[in-house]
Amino acid sequence: MIDKRVADLAAALEGISDGAVVMIGGFGAVGQPDALVDALAELGPRELTIIANNAGWSAETGIPRLMDLGLVRKIICSFPKGSTVFKDLFTAGKIELELVPQGTLAERIRCGGAGIPAFYTATAAGTRLAEGKEVRTFRGRECVMEEALTADVALVEAWQADRWGNLVFRGSGRNFNPIMAMAAELTIVQAHQFANELDPNVIVTPGIFVNRVVQVDSRVEKLLAAQKAS
């Protein structure tokens, strides 16, 4: 019987090793696989490459915590501002940054999952971020060639999951999660709820893209409450 549910965070993260390329979903406080990221920090694999939209906000949790522990060699993202942890490491030359426009980042990840090695886009053509990239004109428009991104591991948050690993999301919680789930060798999901069976018509991420699911009470509500209080 197919059953991708695992008992706890340790079982969910088993086997992640030094040097892993790790995609981490989420946009703002929503859709962050926060429990998985914090458990990864405890596990402590080193020399990680992180692919995410942001570099995170607070040194106490999430991606900045991974960085603060010295576990991250490089980050590929569109918006590294927010945490002083990244800024300090970056200015000290202790972490590498690949800055990618947000839509190009999303498409590179989607292509990684879809078996498309490279594509062309007008985004960034004629700008500093196209330096060193191959340029080609289609229908009179200059485009840059962008290569797919894949990962060893994707950490994903979902609203509900079933035993087959089918996922549904809530609100703006999809963001990078469904495409990262497609692009990694090992996709690990923290789900707010387990469902017995999801309606085939409304599933967003089919279970084929998912390897393990762990149930975790969402911290979105708590985070938002804290934000409001501050």
Partner 1 sequence: MSETIEKALGDDRVAMTRRLAGDIADGWYVNLGVGMPTKVADMIDDGREVMFHSENGILGMGPTPAEDEIDPWLVNAGKKAVSLTPGAALFHHADSFAMIRGGHIDLCVLGGYEVAENGDLANWTTPSGDILPAVGGAMDLAVGAKRVWVLMQHTTRDGAAKLVRRCTYPLTAPAAVDRVYTELGTFAVTEEGFRVLTLADGVSLADVQARTDAPIHG
Contact positions vs a second copy (CB under 8 A): 107, 111, 114-122, 138-139, 141, 143, 147, 168-171, 201-202
Q: Pick the closer one to partner 1 by CB: 73 or 170.
A: 170
212 near 191, Cβ under 8 Å?
no
For 45, residues 6+ apart whose C-beta sits below 8 A from its C-beta are 16, 17, 18, 19, 20, 71
Q: Pick the closer one to a second copy by CB: 138 or 194.
A: 138
Q: Pick the closer one to a second copy by CB: 94 or 136.
A: 136
Selected binder of partner 1 within 32, 49, 175, 190 (CB under 8 A): 175
Shortest distance (Å) from residue 154 CB to a second copy? 20
185 near 151, Cβ under 8 Å?
yes
Shortest distance (Å) from residue 217 CB to a second copy? 21
User: Hey, which residues does 27 pair with through a beta bridge?
Assistant: 30
From the list partner 1, a second copy, none, pick the one residue 80 interacts with, judged by a Cβ distance below 5 to 8 Å according to partner type.
Answer: partner 1
For 94, residues 6+ apart whose C-beta sits below 8 A from its C-beta are none
Q: Pick the closer one to partner 1 by CB: 32 or 49.
A: 32
Selected binder of partner 1 within 58, 87, 98, 152 (CB under 8 A): 87
Selected binder of partner 1 within 9, 12, 23, 29 (CB under 8 A): 29
Q: 202: burial class by Cβ within 10 Å (0-12, 13-18, 19+)?
A: exposed
Per-residue contact track with partner 1, 140 to 159, x per CB under 8 A?
A: -------------------x
43 near 16, Cβ under 8 Å?
yes
Could you give the CA distance from residue 50 to residue 58 in angstroms, rounded to a whole number?
16
| Stretch of 12-20, 41-49, 64-72, 118-126 lying at the interface with partner 1 (CB under 8 A) | 118-126
Shortest distance (Å) from residue 42 CB to partner 1? 25
From the list partner 1, a second copy, none, pick the one residue 220 interacts with, judged by a Cβ distance below 5 to 8 Å according to partner type.
Answer: partner 1
Could you give the CA distance from residue 59 to residue 210 in angstroms, rounded to a whole number?
29
Selected binder of partner 1 within 110, 154, 213, 214 (CB under 8 A): 110
Could you give the CA distance from residue 163 to residue 86 in angstroms, rounded to a whole number?
37
Handedness of CA 219, 222, 228, 230 (dihedral sign): negative
From the list a second copy, partner 1, none, pick the one residue 186 interacts with, judged by a Cβ distance below 5 to 8 Å according to partner type.
Answer: none
